[in-house]
Amino acid sequence: MIIAAGAVVWRKNSKGVTEIAVIHRPKYDDFSLPKGKSEPGESLISTAYREVFEETNLITQFGPFLGSVEYFSPFGLKQVSYWAAKSIGEENIFIPNDEVDRLGWIVISKAVDKLTSETDKEILGRFVNTFYDTQPLILLRHAKALARSEWPGDDDDRPLDALGQLQASKLTSIYQIFNLKEIHTSDAIRCYDTVTPLAKSLGIQLEVTGKLSESAFKKDKERAFDYLKEVIKSNKSALLCSHNPVLPKLLAKVSKKNELTPDDEKLQPADAWILHRAGKEVLQIDRINSPVN
């Protein structure tokens, strides 16, 4: 099976109406959503971000997952996963090439008639029925650390092992797509070291707090949730790095408050939940797995 990914890229025009980016591919003479094949070892969401940029030259902030479609291409069965993605900042000049020779912005009501393939139309339909204008709040479990039995010192000082260091080094390729403005971390070494490469790469000052640590959670289970509520109030795209069992409890509280079904599958090291919110309301929860297992 051919694995690919793309996005419904959107913006608001001067009248406040949502427009969709549609590309023309001369090889197929069709009008399509931007998408392309995944490279070896590349996460699907990173594929979508890269392909959108390569085909449109647009900088985007990714939002909710829209699901996947399957269809038969000339090269075999193809599965394509899609996200909603907002065009942000000043738009770069589109440069036509052999693969994509035109880029157009079309209002939603007309985009469905412009798109050639039925699967693209299906994805656009999902987009229309999704709360796509959201801010991400990411709950990230720290990367893999040394086992407790292998560390003689204080548990908060337990460092990442070799796999954890590799996981931490590869987080930027995923989380750059969310246009992060804040990164908060437990003061435990394994959390701090997980997000330090990401923060440096994005030029973000880390917010380090004991309120997200596992040791603090054992003493007072409400402190972490109070901290989370303050982050939500800021209404900025943000990432919090913490521990099990802290993160599942935070997710459960947010899910209950917003009447969402929580993800019951445990986060493995360097896995994350993506909470898509509008103000204080969480509208959708997605999951992203570790870049390296």
Q: What is the pLDDT of residue 91?
A: 72
Task: For the chain, list residues with pLDDT below 70.
Answer: none
The per-residue pLDDT of the chain, averaged, comes to 94
Residue 261 has a pLDDT of 84
Q: Among candidates 147, 141, 167, which has minimal Cα distance to 245?
A: 141
Backbone angles phi, psi at 12, to 5 degrees: -100, 130
Q: Which residues of 178-198 are buried (b: 16+ CB within 10 A; e: fewer)?
A: bbbebbbbbebbbbbbbbbeb
Which pLDDT does position 47 carry in this prediction?
97
> Which pLDDT belongs to residue 293?
85
Supply the pLDDT for residue 74. Answer: 77
Write the pLDDT tens digit of every residue in 227-247: 999 999 888 999 999 999 999
Domain range annotation of the chain? 2-128, 135-288
pLDDT of residue 76: 85
CA–CA distance, 86 with 132 (Å, rounded to integer): 9
CATH of domain 135-288: 3.40.50.1240
CATH fold of 2-128 reads Nucleoside Triphosphate Pyrophosphohydrolase (3.90.79)
So what's the pLDDT on residue 71? 87
C-alpha 12/C-alpha 128 separation (Å) is: 14
Task: Please answer whether residues 157 and 189 qualify as being in contact, where contact means their C-beta atoms are separated by less than 8 angstroms.
Answer: yes
For residues 263-281, one letter each, b for 16 or more C-beta atoms within 10 angstroms of the residue's C-beta and e for the rest, the string is: beeebebbbbbbbbbeeee
